[in-house]
Amino acid sequence: MRNAKPCSSTEPPSSSRQPCFSATAIALTALLLLGGCNEQAVSPKASPETAGVVTDATTGLRWLRCAVGQAWKEERCVGEPEMLGLMDAQARVEALNAQGHKGVTQWRLPTITELAALRRCDHGLVDESFTLELSPEQAPVTLPRWCAGETSIPTIDAVRFPDTPPIKFWSGSGSEAAQHFYAVNFGNAWIGLNEEAESTYAVRPVADRAR
């Protein structure tokens, strides 16, 4: 394609001369082309690697919006969650990492503090709390027990985590020495104590802040 040549008011017309274009026409064409590029950049489509993942603006933690076993489809979580024992839950998360699920290879079970922070109650949580013992190398954690008053179910942000079943979800916290582990029930915001590793609960993996 030949370069467009600006018109000059001092040059006489010639049949052999290259076609000329006014500077205004050239500028308008450039603006239209740039406008099309900007429109495409402003509204990109969500990539398969990021669909179904929500990032906490405060902590930077990346959460799967659906429980393991459910599928992200049209802004919803469809299907039923897999109910797994603790060891199977950990193995399932490792399998997600091996396949680079949602473009992430650092999925893990959330700590009890991280998982409990997802609880949402209409009237907040009670002031009463309890202390949870962890492994010897970890300090105990103190968390509110449950919701204050009656509340909507499930006890989680249904916008960020749609179609969450009101059941228990595994955390990765507990005491192997004492053989008790912790889970969160999103049917009533209760933290399950002394859970047996063979109990079968749902799983919501989390990944640390992207680097």
User: How confident is the model at residue 24, as a pLDDT?
Assistant: 42
Do residues 57 and 160 both lie within one domain?
yes
Give domain status of residue 47, yes or no.
no
The span from the CA of 137 to the CA of 134, in Å, is 8
- Strands (E) across 51-190 are located at 53-55, 62-64, 71-73, 76-78, 129-132, 141-144, 168-175, 180-185
Q: What pLDDT score was predicted for residue 137?
A: 77
Query: Is the same domain home to 30 and 129?
Result: no
Neighbours of 197 (CB within 10 A): 16
In a domain, 48, yes or no: no
Q: Give the pLDDT of residue 186.
A: 97
Based on the structure, what is the number of domains in the chain? 2
Residue 70 placed within a domain: yes
Q: pLDDT tens digits, the chain, 211 residues: what are they?
A: 444 444 444 444 444 444 443 444 434 344 333 333 333 333 333 344 478 999 999 999 999 999 999 999 999 999 999 999 999 999 999 999 999 999 999 999 999 999 999 999 999 999 989 888 888 878 889 999 899 999 999 999 999 999 999 999 999 998 877 778 999 999 999 998 889 999 999 999 999 998 7
Q: Based on the domain organization, do 64 and 115 belong to the same domain?
A: yes
Q: Which domain holds residue 147?
A: 53-207
Amino acid occupying residue 180: H
Q: What is the pLDDT of residue 102?
A: 94
Residue in 87, 193, 190, 86 with CA at minimum distance from that of residue 133? 193
Find the angle CA(114)-CA(207)-CA(61) to the nearest 5 degrees.
55
Please tell me whether residues 161 and 106 are part of one structural domain: yes
User: Is 101 found in the same domain as 9?
Assistant: no
Residues 37 and 83 in one domain: no
Same domain as 114, residue 21: no
